[in-house]
Amino acid sequence: MRQADEPEISVDVTVLTEPAPLWALVTDIELPARFSGELQGAHWLDDVDGPALGARFVGRNRRLFGTEPVEWETTSTVTALEPQRRFEWSVGDVDQPIARWRFDLEPRGAGATQLTMWAKVGTATSGLTMAVEARPDREEGIVAARLEEWRANMAATLDGIKALAEQPRR
């Protein structure tokens, strides 16, 4: 698998709640930082205080490259917003993103919702691009390793959201 192939990955979980309360959690752009090993936080830009089509936000990230911690920020734009159904954003340029991310909510009856977190690698210049350019002979392994990091963070994020959504109301 190569970066130019724009590989996708998704993780899903069944949450024992209706979509409405779950929607408030998945559209809280700061919440994934509580569970992800990479995302450190996020905030809305342009005096926006919540999700809206075209709204922008900055995400702060941190991860190890070898033994060195590296921190960076990205600007994302909300590209799909279907209340209680889909929340999607593009990282970087909307037309040629670094990546695209999405939460999908699908009612499963009896008070349950299937929550899916999806991501797609983009072709814009990123840390992944630089790693591949430094070792083009190892591109497939580099891309696979990055997707595995995403998968682990996505699973942790979904598990955290599930735990919050299913905790007893007081």
DSSP-H helix ranges across the chain: 19-26, 127-134, 139-166
In order along its 170 residues, the chain shows pLDDT tens digits of 875 568 799 999 999 999 999 999 999 999 999 999 889 999 999 999 999 999 999 999 988 777 888 898 999 999 999 999 999 999 999 999 999 999 999 999 889 999 999 999 888 667 776 776 668 688 787 778 889 999 999 999 999 999 999 987 65
Q: Which pLDDT score, from 0 to 100, does residue 86 have?
A: 98
What pTM value is reported for the model?
A: 0.90
Backbone conformation region of residue 27, classed left if phi is above 0, alpha if psi is from -120 to 50, else beta: alpha
> In which residue are the tokens 């007893």 written?
168
Q: Which pLDDT score, from 0 to 100, does residue 144 have?
A: 84
The rounded distance, in Å, linking the Cα atoms of 111 and 126 is 40
The rounded distance, in Å, linking the Cα atoms of 37 and 154 is 10
Q: Whose CA is closest to 10, among 95, 74, 106, 84?
A: 106
Strand-pairing partners, residue 65, are 68
